[in-house]
Amino acid sequence: MTTLARLITALNRGLFGIAKWLVYAIVLLMLWEVVSRYFLAHPTSWAPELATLIFGPFFLLGGPYLLHLGGHVAVDLLSARATGGLAILLHLVGLALAAAFGLILLWFSLPLVAQSISYGETSYSAWNPVVWPAKAFLPLCAGLLVLQAAADAVFAVKGADAT
C-alpha cells in the first residue's frame, strides 16, 4: 500500500512540476497580445483565450500535490494543537473531506466533458477553438485529488514518509 501511495504522490509531484511551467506560457501569450495590440496595432483574438484555456490546467494540476504538501488554505486552530492519535484522526477527517469533494467534482464533471466531446463544443469566439481538452482536466485532476487523499491517508495511518 505504501509503495502505491508513493507512486501516486510521485505522479502528482511530476504533474505539478510540469504544470508550474505553464505560467510562463501564459505570460508569453499575454506579452504577445500587449505587443500586438499596442505596438503593432493588430490585436489577436486567440492569445487571451488560449491563455485562459491554459490557466485551467495550470491551476487544477497543482491541487493534488498541494493537498500532499498541506499548501491549501486551512483553518487549523484545533489540529495545530492536537497531538498523537487525535492529530492523525483530524488529518484523516480532512483527507476524507478532500476526497469527498474530489468524488463529487468527478461525478458531476465527467458527463460535462463527455457532452463537450460528443458535441464538438467550441468557445463560440472569433478564434473558436474546441474546449473539451481544457474541460477534461477537471475530472482528471479531481480523480488525482481523490487518489492523493487516499495516499496521504495511507501515510498517516502507517506513519510512513512520502519520499
Helix (H, G, I), strand (E, B) or coil at 141: helix
Q: Where are the domains of the chain?
A: 2-158
User: 153 — phi, psi (to 5°)?
Assistant: -65, -40
Q: Which of 76-90, 94-108, 142-156 has the lowest mean pLDDT?
A: 76-90
Q: What is the DSSP string of 20-64?
A: TTHHHHHHHHHHHHHIIIIISS---SSHHHHHHHHHHHHHHHHHH
Tell the burial category of 75 from Cβ atoms under 10 Å away from its Cβ (0-12, 13-18, 19+): exposed
C-beta of residue 106 within 8 angstroms of C-beta of residue 25: no
**Paired strand residues for 130:** 122
- Share the mean pLDDT of the chain: 90
Output the nine-digit C-alpha cell for 49: 483565450
Q: Would you say residue 12 has pLDDT above 80?
A: yes
Percent of the chain at pLDDT exceeding 90: 71
Beta bridge partners of 135: none
